[in-house]
Amino acid sequence: QVLLVESGGGLVQAGGSLRLSCAASGRTFSRYVMGWFRQAPGKEREFVAAINWDSDDNTYYRDSVKGRFTISRDNAKNTLYLQMNSLKPEDTAVYYCAATYERCSTYGCYAEIRNYNYWGQGTQVTVSS
């Protein structure tokens, strides 16, 4: 069992930056694959980025955020991060962190919402033009 709490959302102008954090409870945080998803009004929740449990080298991003967003984790602090740079109005959404015990090896596995067992409550990110 893991409890996830996001923070760091807010209002920013296009081109600006935000860093989201996701604090996780539980002693086994380091054994979860962690992901960030987002949901804009009227749209389905979509994958943003994921990171494997063992290394920052195993990271995955949707194409539209590659080169702008960076996912990372600090297992000692039980915290997941999403650094978002060069933000665009189309990045506006509620951002959720999620965790899964699934042992993924493909992008499709990391991006599949149904594979994630635990979800935070979300944090709003609004990018003005």
The full DSSP string for 60-90 is: EE-GGGTTTEEEEEETTTTEEEEEE-S--GG
State which residues of the chain have pLDDT below 70. Answer: 27, 55-57
In this prediction, residue 53 carries a pLDDT of 75
In this prediction, residue 87 carries a pLDDT of 98
Task: Kindly list the distances between the CA atom of residue 28 and the CA atoms of 38, 107, 110, 120, in Å, as whole numbers in the listed order.
Answer: 24, 23, 19, 17
Say how far residue 45 (Cα) sits from the centre of its chain.
Answer: 12
In this prediction, residue 56 carries a pLDDT of 57
Averaged pLDDT of the chain: 93
Q: Are 117 and 32 in contact (CB under 8 A)?
A: no
In this prediction, residue 27 carries a pLDDT of 63
Q: What's the pLDDT tens digit per position in 29-55?
A: 778 899 999 999 999 999 999 998 776
